[in-house]
């Protein structure tokens, strides 16, 4: 598309942009492009070629002007499409309304208020968050308010330049087909955003069309979180907890939830406790990233913490570190998402009733949970990547089998306990993990002892994820080309192990909905999975090997064997990718 056309689109965009900051940014870009600045021309082309795609994860992108960025024009159009879809599909949509929550990122409050005003312009009621709060709070509030949908303005753990728009259905789970494509089609029919009816918020409040939620709603959520405790008799009064919300919104939920649940000795890292959209102390606001937990681990060492808990900025994920035993203290080990999921599931299956029950995880998580479920007689479900699938699988199980959903998790440190929140919830997961630590301590054991016991029972699963980041349009094309290449010519063997089966989920193989995922199954239970990220410009590869722990063999020795096998498998696959 020629640059002149991009300039025409940009000038049309300026005419309806209500945000002085993005309008000024776009004017400067147009001026630079008009002066022949090649970088400005490329930037303009990227912003105005296509648009951010609305899908099952909603929207997520870099803040800025243009349809390929997150901004107020786009949020207004998306909300108008959402409203049209709800009014066409839900008979009492106007009365049931939409819950609107937001985190503390740049423009989150503005996006939330624009959402309420667009909904109000067509008579749809909204329940608007009174302050920034965690994503799971929005998912919970959808069902608590009996709303027909929910919107959460967040970019979760993405860098500071990002924001996003996540949509929930009336069941409290993120949207899945056909709602995602239906909403996207309705968005495509929306005209200019400056022609949408957008009454002032005060006018909508007086009419009762906008209802401001209060701290009482948050208190109700915390009470429901505390009610999830599986062993309320376990004493956690002197359990020392080091915590960080990583400059996000978690502190005002996790700290009181832990206190209410009987864990008052909580020490939050002061430099990261308050929300800050710049995330100044971390290179990347994701507790899984190298260095992100350095400050809270240092705090833990100072106070001799029994457990370290970290949320991502919207508090829907939880990262855990536990003490390493040693005569002088051995520091802390940060658990992987699979390890945290394994000990949580093992604990909840052990202490809970032996009724009909189910645990769930995603195809890219470890296979360990399936072995645990089989050993304890629990049902097991494996879903596509994304908590929307786990949430819906849980509800399907409860409806079809009358059973109880115990917990679900995904390896990217997302956990959900029970039916309270149909999405990942880093607040309730923090409470239950603190309880798990106290439960182990009461039995004279540590979390690492519990994990080793699991490995001896079902095998040592060694996993690793490698992400290739390829930003921009060229990067996305490179990711697509890699997936096409492995589909058309899959490897016959990797690291000397025969590829016994190739499962292409894009064709609906494996009994799951179509998805851009390739699974390579190798001899001995080894596995390689490839998939593009749904929210970031990354090609993700997942590697796993299972090692039987010999009688009397040290777990550390088995792990050395497993890591060597895993490294060989990873390196062989990555070499083919390069």
Give catalytic residue positions. Answer: 156
Q: To 10 degrees, the CA torsion angle through 278, 280, 284, 287?
A: -110
Sheet of 493-494: strand order equals 460-469, 538-547, 527-532, 518-522, 497-504, 493-494
What DSSP designation does 416 have? Answer: E
> What is the three-class DSSP state of 497?
strand
Residues in the chain: 578
- Give the span between the Cα atoms of 460 and 215, in whole angstroms: 45
> What is the three-class DSSP state of 412?
coil
> What is the three-class DSSP state of 520?
strand
Handedness of CA 39, 43, 46, 52 (dihedral sign): positive
Residue 459 gets the label, from left (phi > 0), alpha (psi -120 to 50) or beta, of left
From the number of C-beta atoms within 10 Å of its C-beta (0-12, 13-18, 19+), residue 159 rates as middle
Which residues partner with 168 through β-bridges? Answer: 150, 174
3-state SS record for 266-326: EEECHHHHCCCCCCCCCCCCCCCCCCCCHHHHHHHHHHCCCEEEEECCCCCEEEEEEECCC
């Amino acid at each position: 598309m020629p640059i002149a056309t991009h300039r025409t689109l940009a000038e049309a965009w300026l005419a309806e942009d209500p945000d002085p900051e993005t309008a000024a940014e776009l004017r400067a870009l147009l001026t630079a492009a008009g002066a022949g600045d090649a970088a400005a021309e490329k930037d303009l082309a990227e912003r105005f070629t296509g648009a951010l795609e609305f899908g099952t994860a909603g929207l997520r992108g870099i803040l800025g002007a243009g349809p390929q960025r997150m901004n107020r024009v786009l949020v207004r159009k998306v909300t108008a499409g959402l409203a049209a879809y709800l009014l066409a599909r839900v008979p009492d949509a106007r009365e049931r309304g939409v819950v609107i929550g937001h985190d503390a990122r740049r423009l989150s409050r503005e996006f939330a208020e624009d959402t309420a005003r667009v909904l109000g312009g067509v008579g749809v009621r909204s329940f608007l968050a009174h302050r920034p709060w965690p994503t799971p709070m929005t998912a919970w509030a959808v069902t608590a308010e009996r709303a027909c949908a929910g919107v959460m303005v967040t970019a979760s753990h993405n860098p500071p330049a990002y924001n996003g728009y996540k949509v929930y259905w009336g069941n409290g789970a993120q949207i899945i087909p056909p709602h995602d494509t239906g909403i996207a089609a309705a968005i495509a029919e929306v005209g200019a955003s400056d022609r949408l009816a957008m009454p002032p918020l005060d006018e909508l409040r007086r009419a009762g069309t906008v209802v401001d939620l209060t701290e009482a709603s948050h208190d109700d959520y915390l009470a429901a979180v505390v009610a999830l405790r599986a062993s309320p008799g376990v004493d956690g009064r002197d359990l020392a907890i080091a915590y960080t919300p990583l400059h996000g919104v978690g502190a005002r939920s996790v700290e009181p939830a832990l206190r209410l649940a009987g864990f008052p000795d909580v020490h939050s890292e002061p430099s990261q406790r308050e929300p800050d959209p710049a995330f100044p102390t971390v290179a990347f606001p994701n507790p899984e990233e190298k260095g992100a937990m350095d400050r809270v681990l240092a705090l833990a060492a100072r106070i001799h913490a029994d457990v370290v808990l970290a949320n991502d900025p919207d508090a829907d994920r939880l990262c855990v570190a536990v003490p390493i035993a040693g005569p002088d203290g051995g520091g802390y080990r940060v658990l992987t998402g699979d390890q945290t999921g394994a000990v949580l599931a093992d604990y909840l299956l052990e202490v809970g009733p032996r009724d009909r029950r189910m645990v769930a995880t995603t195809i890219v998580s470890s296979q360990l949970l399936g072995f645990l479920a089989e050993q304890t007689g629990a049902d097991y479900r494996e879903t596509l990547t994304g908590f929307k699938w786990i949430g819906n699988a849980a509800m399907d199980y409860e409806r079809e089998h009358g059973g109880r959903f115990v917990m679900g998790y995904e390896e990217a440190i997302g956990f959900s306990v029970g039916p309270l929140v149909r999405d990942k919830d880093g607040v309730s997961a923090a409470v239950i993990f603190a309880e798990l630590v106290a439960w182990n301590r009461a039995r004279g054991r540590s979390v690492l002892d519990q994990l080793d016991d699991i490995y001896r029972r079902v095998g040592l699963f060694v996993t690793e994820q490698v992400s290739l980041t390829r930003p921009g349009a060229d990067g996305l094309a490179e990711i697509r080309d890699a997936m096409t290449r492995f589909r058309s010519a899959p490897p016959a063997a990797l690291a000397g192990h025969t590829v016994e089966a190739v499962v292409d989920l894009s064709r609906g193989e494996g009994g799951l909905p179509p998805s851009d995922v390739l699974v390579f199954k190798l001899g001995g239970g080894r596995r390689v999975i490839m998939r593009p990220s749904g929210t970031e410009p990354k090609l993700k590869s997942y590697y796993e090997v299972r090692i039987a722990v010999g009688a009397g063999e040290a777990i550390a020795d088995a792990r050395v064997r497993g890591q060597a096998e895993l490294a060989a498998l990873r390196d062989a696959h990555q070499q083919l990718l390069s």
